Amino acid sequence: MIRWLRLILVALLLAAIEGTIGLIVPWEGARLDLLLAFLVLTAMDRGPKEGVWLGFIIGIVRDLNQPALLGMNSLSLGAIGYCAGRFADSVDRNSWKVQALILLVLGLFSRVFETFLIQVLQGHSTWDWLWRYEIPALLLTAVTIPLIVMTWKTSRGYQIKG
CA gap 83, 140 in Å, rounded:
21
Q: Tell me which of 128 and 102 has the higher pLDDT.
A: 102
The helix (H) or strand (E) run that includes residue 4 is helix 2-21
Cβ proximity of 84 and 110 under 8 Å? no
Q: What is the pTM of this model?
A: 0.75
The per-residue pLDDT for range 82-126, each reduced to its tens digit, is 998 998 878 877 777 787 788 888 888 887 777 777 666 666 666
The helix (H) or strand (E) run that includes residue 78 is helix 72-90
CB within 8 A of 59, min separation 6: which ones? 71, 72, 73, 74, 75, 76, 77, 78
Phi, psi of 39, deg, nearest 5: -65, -50
- From 14-18, 42-46, 117-121, the region with the lowest mean pLDDT: 117-121
Residue 58, pLDDT > 60, answer yes
Q: 2-155 architecture in CATH?
A: Orthogonal Bundle (1.10)
Phi, psi of 124, deg, nearest 5: -90, 155
Residue 156 — very low, low, confident or very high, per pLDDT cuts 50/70/90? low
Residue 3 has what pLDDT? 77
Q: What number of CA atoms fall less than 13 Å from residue 161's CA on the CB side? A: 8
- Average of per-residue pLDDT across 30-35: 75
Q: Domain locations in the chain? A: 2-155
